A = this chain, B = another copy of it.
Amino acid sequence: MSSRWFQKRWARGAPGPSAPPAAASPGRGAAQQPAASPYRRPKFLRGAGVGESPAGRRPVRCAPRDRPLQWETGYAEVINAEKSEFNEDQATCCQIAIRRRGTGEEEDQDWLILCSNQYLTGYYWALFDGHGGPDAAIIASNYLHYCIKQKLEEVVEAITEAQPPMHLSGCCICPSDPQFVEEKQIRQEDVVTAALESAFQECDEAIGQEMKATSQSGGCTALAALYLQGKLYVANAGDSRAILVQRQSILPLSSEFTPETERQRIQQLAFLYPKLLADEFTRFEFPRRLKGDDVGQKVLYRDYSMTGWGYKTVEKADLKYPLIHGHGKQTRLLGTLAVSRGLGDHQLKVIDTDVQVKPFLSCIPQVKVFDFAVHNIKEDDVVIMATDGLWDTLSNEELAQMVRSFLDENRTDPYRFSELARCLVHTARGTKNGHQWTLDGSSPASYDDISVFVIPLHNRDKDG
């Protein structure tokens, strides 16, 4: 994502409260107190030759072959083309051990141990695409799975029952309680969904606190997949994407949340609370920025309640900068952000104004549930999760075609999912011709950070 509107404030040093042990933080500023999370690449890349990237080169990194990821997941990433000093994407891939906690039992800080029979085991993959610096994505990649674990443990009694009980304690105050729950069609997966929604909120709050304490700024998108009890939950807040590629079909597992897709929600908020725009912006959308000559004319516009385009007579106030402006990938919220959901950005103001961006952002993910019990999963069926750097260059159909032919042609390669991830990133990054990165020597390649997981669903019973 573009970071051009952000002021970069670096205040670095030892790890913060939710950060991992201090790692190398190349290129970061002098230490201050309190301390911020150090820059780093995903933990599972350690030992994969991740070091300084020679200026102007964009090597594609994969997980090391001697430490395979769960389910033989493939992963690859590449840094942007000199857009920012750091790769602002981050990734996490781990198991989540969910414990049935006794009443009053103290929270176990050392929870990231391998699961045993007393735990429910979840498998977790997540991508975070930072903007305005890598910090929010680093905190989120360290912390979101912890929030998810915590929220699931709070309701573990409910998600181990076929039908969640009305009362979490299991007591039954009204004899018809199971019937009420049945009538509302409340299922196990609804409780997991709410736990994920709540975990994103908690992670967002924690990021806000930590970044305030350490004077950091910025935000990130979050796309998280959780496999639990035979279902894959895909929670998305931002413009990353997950799709299931099968032999004959493609199934989108997420939708994108951008100022374009969430225009009506954002405009309505500005209608209800006009003060949020501080007389600096107009909430109306126009095909282009209006000029003095447009005043008095009837021009195409959209307001919050409209899905169609109407005509309005232009007033002077309509010449202000539009709340949502641009088209396609260039669409910006308050001239600042290209996404409308995500974590962080608590302190973000529109440059040279007092207009805050955070009120218009949502940290709540949309959660889609994929139930393996009702799908016939074949050997080469994979979920592709990737940040927008990939999807800007490849359509779902182009990607699916590449996935199918790559897996077909590399049937015996034990590292084929990792190699597929590398191939996808390599394709989207393109090759350097002079000063330009291009696909096939002509059309422009992705200049953004790109991160890709390839999750082979057929391997889901091999681990754990």
Which A residues fall within an 8 A CB radius of B? 154-155, 158, 164, 166-169, 171, 173-174, 176-177, 180-181, 183-184, 186, 189-198, 201, 272, 287-288, 291, 293-294, 297-300, 302, 305-311, 327-328, 364, 366-367
Contacts and interface: CB of A to CB of B under 8 A. Distances in A.
Given A177-B287, A180-B287, 4 more contacts: A168-B298, A169-B297, A189-B308, A196-B308
A284 to B, nearest CB: 13
Contact of A155 (B155, B183, B193, B311): B311
B364 A186 contact: no
Contact of A309 (B173, B176, B190, B306): B190
Contact of A194 (B181, B272, B309, B367): B309
A259 to B, nearest CB: 13
A174 B288 contact: yes
A300 B299 CA distance: 49
B272 A176 contact: no
A288 B181 CA distance: 8
Contacts of A192: 308
Contacts of A299: 166-168
B155 A186 contact: no
A168 B311 contact: yes
Closest 10 pairs (CB-CB, A-B)? A193-B308, A194-B308, A194-B310, A168-B298, A180-B287, A180-B288, A190-B309, A190-B308, A173-B293, A168-B311
A193 B307 contact: yes
Contacts of A306: 194, 197-198
A310 B328 CA distance: 36
A366 B195 CA distance: 31
Given A168-B298, A299-B167, A308 B173 contact: no
12 contacts: A164-B309, A166-B299, A166-B300, A168-B298, A169-B297, A174-B291, A177-B287, A177-B288, A184-B327, A190-B308, A196-B308, A272-B272
Nearest to A189: B308
Nearest to A198: B310
A368 B181 CA distance: 34
A298 B169 contact: yes
B180 A308 contact: no
Interface centre among A183, A294, A300 (most CB of B within 10 A): A300
A370 to B, nearest CB: 15
B177 A307 contact: no
Contacts of A308: 189-197, 367
Contacts of A294: 167, 173
A181 B168 CA distance: 54
B198 A309 contact: no
Nearest to A369: B308
Contact of A297 (B158, B173, B300, B311): B173
B310 A166 contact: no
Contacts of A180: 287-288
Contacts of A181: 287, 300
A186 B166 CA distance: 49
Given A183-B327, A192-B308, A287 B367 contact: no
Nearest to A260: B184
Nearest to A298: B168
A254 to B, nearest CB: 14
A197 B307 CA distance: 8
A297 B184 CA distance: 20
B310 A191 contact: yes
Nearest to A233: B308
A195 B307 CA distance: 10
A292 to B, nearest CB: 9
Contacts of A171: 297
Contacts of A177: 287-288
Nearest to A168: B298
A446 to B, nearest CB: 21
A298 to B, nearest CB: 4
A309 B186 contact: yes
A287 B327 contact: no
Nearest to A184: B287
Contacts of A158: 311
A298 B155 CA distance: 10
